[in-house]
Amino acid sequence: MRRYAGHVAGKIGYKGVVDLVTDADREAEAYIVTALARAFPGHHIHGEEGGGSGAPPEETPYAWHIDPLDGTTNYAHGLPQYTVSVALAAAEEILLGVVYDPVRDDCFTAARGMGAHRNGNPIHVSRTPKLAAALVASGFPYDRWTNEDDNIAEWRRFMKRTQGVRRLGSASLDLCWVAIGWLDLFWEKRLSPWDVMAGALIVQEAGGRVTDFDGQWPPLAQLGARVLATNALIHEEALAVFRLGDAAPLPSKGT
| 5 inside domain | no
pLDDT in tens, 191-200: 999 999 999 9
171 vs 22, more confident: 171
| 252 inside domain | no
> Which pLDDT score is estimated for 50?
73
Structurally, the chain folds into a number of domains equal to: 2
For residue 142, pLDDT over 60 is answered with yes
| 242 inside domain | yes
Phi/psi for 100 (5° steps) reads -115, 130
For residue 134, pLDDT over 90 is answered with yes
Residue 236, domain extent: 131-247
Say if residue 86 is in the same domain as residue 156: no
Say if residue 109 is in the same domain as residue 181: no
pLDDT in tens, 10-51: 565 555 444 456 788 888 899 999 999 999 999 999 988 776
Say if residue 98 is in the same domain as residue 167: no
Percentage of the chain with pLDDT > 70?
A: 91
> Which pLDDT score is estimated for 22?
76
For residue 73, pLDDT over 80 is answered with yes
| Residue 77: pLDDT band with limits 50, 70, 90 | confident
Q: SS3 helix, strand, coil % of the chain, rounded to 5?
A: 30, 25, 45
Whether the Cβ atoms of residue 162 and residue 134 lie closer than 8 Å to each other: yes
CATH number at residue 80: 3.30.540.10
Say if residue 107 is in the same domain as residue 168: no
Say if residue 154 is in the same domain as residue 56: no
Say if residue 138 is in the same domain as residue 104: no
Say if residue 135 is in the same domain as residue 240: yes
Say if residue 156 is in the same domain as residue 235: yes
What integer is the mean pLDDT of 103-130? 98
